[in-house]
Structure 1
Amino acid sequence: MRVAAQTRILSSRWKHIWNSYPVFDFCQNSLFNVDSHRLAGWELDDGISKQVRPQYWETLEKLTNIVDQKLEKFSECKLGIQKFKLSIALADQEFHSFVDKWMEVVSEKHVKELDLCIRAEGKFGYVLPQTIFAAKYLTVLKIRGYNLMLEDPVMKSAVDLHSLQILSLENVYIDEKTTQNLISSCPFVEDLYRSFNEGNSQSLKVYGLVKLVNLTVNMRSDSHLM
């Protein structure tokens, strides 16, 4: 009985901690114990249609349902989100709207740490929603992936990242002006990482960042993630 009582107390304490600092971690690979890169057959020429890769599509559909259900339930709470981490490989444009919706929800929930690893298939890639760059409570923003981009330039007036301390943009196609607007709108950033794909190099001007401690700029070739 004492052990059961202690377990209930411990469980209550962890529940209180989670409720105070909610953390969401959705990884397509670990949730379903699969290698999405191998399962999708990214390196093959026969495509990743639902007919060709049914098992891959099944894991993707399950993941979108899980994230939808978790966020819908959490939306009923009057709590903010401490951290939202998402690792997903998008097989088709029909899944892009799910990610757009999730970004809107976590932004409304004052997310403090946002960690995205997104691989997008198709010639159009995945266009990152500008909602991300107006999440004024963010302290950590990490975006990496493959075939990610911002379609339209993000104006400085649309960026509100004054709380940001860590900014990492890896393999994200962003025009030079938008890159500068983002950086200059993070006056208190301490850690800045930017990587470019071959053929997409840019000049990077860093000034006015009075708290900057670490600056890393990297040139890399396209590579498979996830």
Structure 2
Amino acid sequence: MDLEGKLEAEAEDRISELPDAILCHILSFLPTTLYAVRTTILSTRWKNVWTSVPNLVFEDREFPGRFEAFMMFVDCVFSLRNNSSNILKFRFLGGSNVEKEDISRIDRWICTAVRGNVVELDLQFYSGTFEFKMPQSVFICKTLVTLRVESDCISYAPPSTSGPFPSLKLLDFTAFNDYTTSLVKLCPFCPVLEDLVIGINGYDKNVRISAPELKTLRIHSPWDEVIEFFY
């Protein structure tokens, strides 16, 4: 082994000797969960480190033309991860490939993230042919601070027993239809909502916005124009 190779090997060994918590923190900076899972090939030391990474980020573009393989990958990650580790971020980008039969899987993943004390939830998928009801547990999640939604099929009906989103501070969504804009109607009941971001995508009805603690409102037009208001 030449000197350069020896130095690289020694550097890798030093990284592998770090505590799991630090290794998980390092892996949390990788762009998606697929990258984190791939670290298992480095050595046996890395075999299970990814199972405790707090950020779960899934993008269907990493499985071009193989959407079912993508969905199975998400299933496997949730089944193998360390359930004692909290989930800080759950991001699911399914594009326009999601079918009605996928609803139960997505619902299960979201509920698992909520049980894992999720802080940031980011959902992007489209249909136009079916309705996906946001799980009730999301509305009462006490750890959820950031919610980003870009979907034309998600509907929102919070439980009547308690106010929605008790800890939500940032809400970012795209208005496609009456389903999506129904989310705005919940804003007056969000006690700590500070930032609201709305993307307008072909929706031309009036939307009334009210939130007691709102500080910033940003509206994105289809032409990438941004209108920003401060309170």
Give the TM-score, by structure 1 length.
Answer: 0.70
Secondary structure at 1:135's aligned position in 2? coil
Taking only the aligned residue pairs, the percentage that are identical comes to 21
Give the corresponding residue for 1:124: 130
Alpha carbons of structure 1 residues 102 and 172: separation in structure 2 relative to 1, 3 Å: farther
Asked whether the equivalents of residues 198 and 220 of structure 2 are also in contact (C-alpha less than 8 Å), the reply is: yes
Give the corresponding residue for 2:202: 198
What are the Cα deviations for residues 49-99 of structure 1, in whole angstroms up to 9, with x where unaligned?
Answer: xxxxxxx3xx2111111111111122x531210101110033421112111
Give the corresponding residue for 2:87: 81
Alpha carbons of structure 1 residues 140 and 199: separation in structure 2 relative to 1, 3 Å: closer
Asked whether the equivalents of residues 190 and 211 of structure 2 are also in contact (C-alpha less than 8 Å), the reply is: no
Displacement after TM superposition at 1:124 (Å): 2.5
Partner AA of 2:197 in structure 1: Y
Structure number with greater Rg is: 2
Distance 2:83 2:180 in 1: 39
Distance 2:21 2:138 in 1: 32
Partner AA of 1:15 in structure 2: L
* Alignment pair present for 1:112 and 2:119: yes
Give the corresponding residue for 1:134: 140
Return the match for 1:62 from 69, 77, 97: 69
Aligned CA-pair RMSD: 3.0
Give the corresponding residue for 1:9: 17
Give the corresponding residue for 2:44: none
Give the corresponding residue for 1:99: 106
Distance 2:68 2:123 in 1: 18
| Matched length | 190
- Name structure 2 gaps, 5 residues minimum: 1-8, 29-50, 224-231
Displacement after TM superposition at 1:139 (Å): 0.9
Between 173-182 and 97-106, report the one with greater CA deviation.
173-182
Give the TM-score, by structure 2 length.
Answer: 0.68
Asked whether the equivalents of residues 193 and 217 of structure 1 are also in contact (C-alpha less than 8 Å), the reply is: yes
